[in-house]
Amino acid sequence: MKHKINNIFTSLMGIYDILVGKEVFKLNGIVLLSVSTFIILMGASYLIYKKYPYRQQLTYIPSGTTLLTSFIMIFISFDLNRFDGLTMSAASVAIGLASLAAFMCLPLIDYYFRYRQH
According to the model, what pLDDT value does residue 67 have? 92
Residue 1 has pLDDT above 80, yes or no: no
What is the residue type of 55?
Answer: R
Report the residue count for the chain: 118
Number of CB atoms found within 10 A of residue 68's CB:
12
pTM here is: 0.69
Residue 78, helix vs strand vs coil: coil
What number is the average pLDDT over the span 33-56?
Answer: 87
Which amino acid appears at position 36 of this protein? S
Q: pLDDT band for 66, please (50, 70, 90 cuts).
A: very high
Give which of 98, 85, 108 is closest to 36, Cα–Cα.
Answer: 98
pLDDT of 21 > 80? The answer is no
The residue ranking higher by pLDDT, 62 or 31, is 62
Task: Report the range of poorest mean pLDDT among 22-31, 37-46, 59-68.
Answer: 22-31
